[in-house]
A and B are shown apart, each in its own frame.
Chain A
Amino acid sequence: MANFDFLSISPDLVLIAFAVLFLLMGSFSRTPGVHNYNMLSISAFSLAILFNLLLFGSKRFGFYDMMLYDELAGIFRFIFYGIGIIVSLMSDPYIEGKIKHKGEYYALIILSIVGMSFIATSYDLIMLVLGVEAMSLSVYILAGMFKHDEASAEASIKYFLLGAFSTAIMLLGIAFVYGTVGTTNYSLIVQNYNKYLHGGIQTGIFLFGVAAILAGVLFKIAAVPFHMWTPDVYEGAPTSVTAFMISGVKAASFFMLIRVFLIALKVAVFNFVDIMVFISIITMTLGNIAALTQRNIKRMLAYSSIAHAGYMLIGFVALNKTGLAAIVFYLIAYALMNLGAFAVLVLLEEKGKDLEHVSGCGFLYPFLGLMMTIFMFSMVGLPPTGGFMGKFYVFKGALEAGYLWLVIIAVLNSAVSAYFYLRVLVYMFFEKPIDAGGALRTSSATVTTALVLTSVGILFLGIFPQFFFEITTKYMTYLP
C-alpha cells in the first residue's frame, strides 16, 4: 500500500519549507541580520498548528504504514509546536549578537521539532529512529551554537558522543527485535510475537532487544543511570537551547516511551515494570538530592529535570489510563514551567548564572520576581499551579495501580525539592542585590509575551485542570 498521505504530514512539510527558506535566506540575502527570523518562525509554527487543527480527530495510516497519525500524536504535535513558539519568543534577545546567522538557529529548532513530530507519528521502528536522529542531530548543533563559548562546545561534543552511543545501543536493540519477529512495523511486531515466539531463546533475544531500546529511550529521558550527560549539557548549552531541550526533547522522549512501549512492545512491557519502579525511584531521589547543593541555577534546573523525569516515570509504572494520561498532563505543565523559568533566566543571565547573581532581583524587577515565583511554586508542586495538578494526577494513577509506597517516596522527594526551588526565591527576594552588570535590559516584549503565556498556562492548568486532563484521558488510547 503505497499510501502517500502527504496531508497527514502537512504541518511538518510547512515547517520544513520554512527551515529551508531560513537557510537559503542566510546564503542569498545581502542583509541577513535584518530579518525577523523569530516572527517568521512563530508564523511557521502557527501555520503548522493550524494545519494540525484541521487534521485533528482523524486517524490516518500513511507511507507504507510507517506512519500513523492519531489523536494523541496530534496532541503532541500541538505541544511541540507550542514549545517552538515559546522558544522562538524567548530566543531573540538572548542570541542577538552571539550568533552570526540567526536563520540557522531557527531552522535547526524547526527541524528538530519536525523530528519530534515524526517520533509522534511513527508507526515503524525505522521511522522512529529517523525522527530521533532528526531531532537529536539538530539539538547537538544547537547546543554548540555559541562557537566561542567553551562550555557550549563541550556540551555539544559530550551530548553528541553520548547520544551517538545510546543511539547505537538502541539500533542494536531494534536489530535484535527485527531478528526475532522479522519486522519493524508496530502492529506486525505484536502479531508476529504472538504467532512465533513462545518462550525459549528466541523470546530471550527479543527481550534483550527491548531492553536495549528502553536503554536508548531512557537516555533521552535522562533517567538515572543514563542521566550523566544532563547536568553538563544543560549547563553548557545556550540558555534558550537548554529551555528547548528540557521541554521539547523531554516531551518527545516521553512520548516515544509511551508510543513504542504501549503500541509496539506492549507484549514485553510488563517484564520491565519492576525495574522501572526502581529506576523511577533512583531517578527522582538522585535528581532532587544532587540539586540541593547546586549554586548554578541552570545546573540546578538540570537536576530538577532529572527528578521530574522520575515523577513522570511513576505514571508509566502505573500503566493505567490515569497514570499515562497524567504523564501527558504533567509534560504540558512541566514544559510550561521550565520554559517560563528559563525565559526569566534568559533575561537575568546578564547578571550571572549563579544564585548569588540573582540576589535582590525580585524587588528590582517585580514582574520577573512574580513570574519566577509562579514557576518555582509550580516546580515544587504547590497549588494552584499546573505542577501541583500534574503530580496529583500522576500519584493518583499510581495509587489506583496500588503503588502506595512509591507515592510516599515521591511525596517525600517533592518535600526535599522545595528547598532548592524556593531558595531561588529566597535569593531573589530576601538577599541584598549585588552590584554587577549594572542595569538590566528586562523589557523585551517577546520574552514578556513568553512569560505571560507560560504563567497564564501554568495557572490555568492549576485552576481548571479538568479541561486538559479530560482531553488527555479521552485520547490516551494506548493501553497495555
Chain B
Amino acid sequence: MFDFIVLIPLFPAFGAFLNGIYGVFRSNWADKPSHTIGIASIGLAFGLMLLLVYKMVSVPIVLLALVPALGAFLAFIFGYRWSDKLVSIIGVGSIGISFILSVLAFWKLIHLEPEARFIEVVFYKWMISGDLSLDIAFLLDPLSAVMILVVTGVGFLIHVYSVGYMHNDPSYPRFFAYLNLFVFFMLILVMANNFPMMFIGWEGVGLCSYLLIGFWFEDDYNAYAGNKAFIVNRIGDFGFLLGMFLIFVTFGSLNYKDVFETASRVLSYNGFTVTAITLLLFVGATGKSSQIPLYVWLPDAMAGPTPVSALIHAATMVTAGVYMVARCNALYTLAPISMAVVATIGALTAIFAASMGFAQRDIKRILAYSTISQLGYMFLGVGVAAFSAGIFHLVTHAFFKALLFLSAGSVIHAMGGEQDVMKMGGLKGHIKKTFIVSLVGTLAIAGAPGLSGFFSKDEILWQAYSSPYGSVFLWAIGVITAGMTAFYMFRWLFLIFFGEERMDHETKHHIHESPNVMLVPLYILAFLSIVGGYIGIPESLGGKNHFHHFLEPVTRYAYKIEGPHYSHALEYALMIVSVAVAFAGFAIAYICYVKNPSIPVKFAESYRNIYRWVYNKYFVDELYEFLFVKGTLNTCFGLKAFDEKGIDGAVNGTGKSLYWSSILTSKLQTGYIYHYVWGIVLGLLILLF
C-alpha cells in the first residue's frame, strides 16, 4: 500500500526532464511541425516511464499518474503551445503532486503502529556483484517522512515563489528543470534505504547546487562560486565515500537495515572501526552542511538566484548532513569520540559563523552565515544524542530560513537588484507586507518565546546541558550564540527596514511591493514559522512533545546511556537565561542601529583591526587559498610536466612503433595472386603441423 512513494521522487524528475528538454530545444521549436514532433516524443517518453512504473508498482497509483499525462495530451491536442506558463505549471505542479503524495504517505504512516513504521519499497534490483546486492529501494519511516514533507512542502512554496521572482529570465525553463532535478535528488537522498543510493542523492544535490549557483554563469564570479561549492563538496564527499567503503568492509552490506540492526553486535562500543566510520561520514556532513572546516562555500553560494539560496541553503541540501547523522544514530551512539567531535564542531561553527555575521553588508550573506550558525546548532543537537531535537530544529529552521531568504528576495526585487544593506534602510513604510513577514522570521530565528525557533532551539540547549553526551560548555556556547544570533538578525532587520533611507533617489522611486505569487508563499511560511514549534512543545511547558515521540522508533537501535535526571526547575532557569541573552542581543542591536546609529561606526574605527578581521571572515578563505589551493595547483603542474615528458613519451612511442609495423604489414599486400596463393599454402602447412 506504500508502493506509491516511488512516485514522490519520480515526479520532480519528470518535471526536470520535461522542462530540460523544452529549455534545450526551445529555440528550435519555433515552427509548428517540430513543436508537434517534440511534444509527441516527450509524451512517448512519459508513456514509457509510466509503463516502467506500472511494472514496478500497483495499478491504481499509476492511474493517478495518468491524470496529468492526459491533461498534457489534451492541452496539446487543443492547440496549446508550450510556453513559460506551461513550464511553471509543470515545474510547480510536479512538486505539488509530490507534496500531496508525501502528505498521503505521512498520513498513512501515522495510522500504523509505531513499531511498524518502517516501510521499504523495492523499485528494482540495481546491481548484484559478488557479495554486494543493491536495490533501488525507498524507505519510509518517521525520519524520512518528516524529511520528505519538509523537502516537498517548503520546496513547493519556493517553486511558487520562483514563478514570480524569475518571471522575465531568458533561461526560465532551465531554471525550473534544475530546481526540479534538485528536489528529485534531495528526495532520493532522504528516501534511500541504502548508502550508495543516499550517495547518489548526495552527489546529485551537489551537482544541482553547482548548476544553480552558477545559474547566471555569464558573470565570472557566479561561475567561480559554483565551482567553489562543487569542489569543497567533493572534498567532503570523499570522506563520505571512504566511510561507506569501510561500512561495506565491516558489515558486508550497505542496506540501512542490515547495518543498523547488527551495529551493536558487529562493532564494539568506542571501538576504532566505528569511530573511523562515523568520523569519515561526518567529513562528508561538514562538506554538505557547511561546518568547520568546509563551510567556506556557503557564503559564496549566495551568487545564485534567491529562490535557490532559499531552497538549497536553507531548506534542503545543507540539512543533508544533519539528516545523515540522525539516520546513522545507531553508529554514532557507539562512538562517543565522534559524538563529541560532532557536538564540538557544531558548537564552534555556531558561534564562529555568528560572529562573522556581525560585519557583513550583503543582505543574503548575513543570512548565509546565520544558516551556517543554525546548522551548527543542529549538529550540536545530534552530537549530544538529541536526534529528534536536531531534526526538530531542522524543520523549524527550514520554515523561518526559507521565509527570511524569500523575504530578502522580495526586498532585492523591490530594490531593483540592490543587495547591500548599507544602501537600504527605512523600507518599512514602502513594503509593509514584506516587512511584517521578515519581522516574523527574525523573531523566530532569534528564539522569541512562542515562535517555532524558541522551542527547537531551547530543546537543543537543554539537551546540550542535560544529555549524557552534553556539557555545560556546549550549553554556554549555545546560549552566547543565541544572543549573537538575536543581535545580527535584528541588525539585519533594522538596517533594511528602519533608520534613514540610504538608497539613491532613482532606486527609491522604483520601490514596489512584490506580486502575490511571491507574497502568498511568504505568508504561508510566516504562518508555519509561528506555529511550526507547536508540534514539539516540551513536557516541562505542559506540552506532549509529539515530534519527539514520533521520531522515537528511528533511534531504536541507538546505544543508550542513562544520564542524570534534572528537575523542571533547572530547565525553566536555563530557558529564562537563553531568552534573556537573546533579548540582550536584540536590545544591543536596537541601541546600535535604531537609537544611535553612530555607535557601530565608532566601534569599527576604534577597533579597526578586529573589525577588519571579522569583515574579512578571519581571512579563512585566504588561508585555504594559501595552504591547499596553491599546493594542489603546484603539485598538479609538476605532475603535468611529468605526464607530458614521461608518460606521453611512452604512449607515443607505443603508437609510433605500431604505426611503423603497420606500414611493414601493408607491404605484405603485394597484389600478386601467386603471392597470395603462397599465403594459403603457408596457412595449410601451419594447420598440418
**Residues of A that sit less than 8 Å from B by CB:** 158, 161-162, 165-166, 169, 208, 211-212, 214-215, 218-219, 223-229, 231-232, 272, 275, 278-279, 286, 289-294, 416, 419
* Distance, CA A29 to CA B675, complexed state (A): 45
Contact B669 A232 (CB under 8 A): yes
* Chain B, residue nearest A276 (CB): B687
Q: How many A-B residue pairs have CB under 8 A?
A: 72
Q: Please give the distance in Å from A242's CB to the nearest CB on chain B.
A: 16
Contact A228 B676 (CB under 8 A): yes
* Distance, CA A376 to CA B115, complexed state (A): 57
* Distance, CA A97 to CA B663, complexed state (A): 37
Contact B687 A214 (CB under 8 A): yes
The DSSP consensus for interface residues of chain B is: helix
Q: Please give the distance in Å from B28's CB to the nearest CB on chain A.
A: 13
**Count of residues in B whose CB is under 8 Å from the partner chain:** 23
Contact B665 A286 (CB under 8 A): yes
Among the listed B658, B669, B680, which residue makes an inter-chain contact with A231, where contact means beta carbons less than 8 Å apart? B669
* Distance, CA A292 to CA B669, complexed state (A): 14
* Distance, CA A169 to CA B679, complexed state (A): 13
Q: Please give the distance in Å from B339's CB to the nearest CB on chain A.
A: 45
Additional 6 contacts, C-beta under 8 A, given A162-B680, A293-B663: A158-B673, A162-B676, A165-B680, A219-B680, A227-B679, A291-B662
Question: What 1/0 mask marks residues of chain B from 650 to 669 whose CB sits below 8 Å from any chain A CB?
Answer: 00000100110111011011
* Distance, CA A464 to CA B260, complexed state (A): 36
Contact B677 A165 (CB under 8 A): yes
Chain A residues with CB under 8 A of B687: 211-212, 214-215, 272, 275
Contact A225 B686 (CB under 8 A): yes
Question: Could you list some 6 contacts between A and B, CB below 8 A?
Answer: A162-B673, A225-B683, A228-B680, A290-B666, A292-B659, A293-B659
Chain B residues with CB under 8 A of A291: 662
Chain B residues with CB under 8 A of A231: 669
Contact B688 A225 (CB under 8 A): no
Contact B680 A215 (CB under 8 A): yes
Contact B662 A289 (CB under 8 A): yes
Contact A293 B666 (CB under 8 A): yes
B110 in contact (CB, < 8 A): no
Among the listed B665, B684, B688, which residue makes an inter-chain contact with A289, where contact means beta carbons less than 8 Å apart? B665
- Assuming the A-B contacts A165-B680, A225-B682, A290-B665, are A211 and B688 also in contact, with contact meaning beta carbons closer than 8 angstroms in the complex? yes
* Distance, CA A223 to CA B676, complexed state (A): 13
Chain B residues with CB under 8 A of A225: 679-680, 682-683, 686
Q: Please give the distance in Å from A452's CB to the nearest CB on chain B.
A: 15
Chain B residues with CB under 8 A of A278: 686
Chain B residues with CB under 8 A of A219: 680
Chain B residues with CB under 8 A of A294: 666
Contact A290 B662 (CB under 8 A): yes
Chain A residues with CB under 8 A of B79: none
* Chain A, residue nearest B667 (CB): A290
B60 in contact (CB, < 8 A): no
* Chain B, residue nearest A228 (CB): B676
Question: What 1/0 mask marks residues of chain B from 557 to 591 whose CB sits below 8 Å from any chain A CB?
Answer: 00000000000000000000000000000000000
Contact A229 B676 (CB under 8 A): yes
Contact A226 B665 (CB under 8 A): no
* Distance, CA A404 to CA B495, complexed state (A): 73
* Distance, CA A226 to CA B679, complexed state (A): 6
Among the listed B662, B676, B686, which residue makes an inter-chain contact with A275, where contact means beta carbons less than 8 Å apart? B686
* Chain A, residue nearest B665 (CB): A290
* Chain A, residue nearest B682 (CB): A225
Chain B residues with CB under 8 A of A161: 673
* Distance, CA A224 to CA B669, complexed state (A): 12
* Distance, CA A252 to CA B666, complexed state (A): 27
* Interface-central residue, B658, B671, B673, B684, by most chain A CB under 10 Å: B684
* Chain A, residue nearest B680 (CB): A226
* Chain A, residue nearest B675 (CB): A228
Chain A residues with CB under 8 A of B683: 215, 218, 223-226
* Interface-central residue, A215, A223, A272, A416, by most chain B CB under 10 Å: A215
* Interface-central residue, A212, A218, A227, A292, by most chain B CB under 10 Å: A292
Among the listed A166, A212, A232, which residue makes an inter-chain contact with B671, where contact means beta carbons less than 8 Å apart? A232
* Distance, CA A279 to CA B683, complexed state (A): 9
Chain B residues with CB under 8 A of A292: 658-659, 662
* Distance, CA A262 to CA B686, complexed state (A): 21
Chain A residues with CB under 8 A of B684: 169, 211-212, 215
Chain A residues with CB under 8 A of B668: 228, 290
Contact A158 B676 (CB under 8 A): yes
* Chain B, residue nearest A158 (CB): B673
Chain A residues with CB under 8 A of B659: 292-293
Contact B658 A416 (CB under 8 A): yes
Chain A residues with CB under 8 A of B679: 225-228
Chain A residues with CB under 8 A of B658: 289, 292, 416
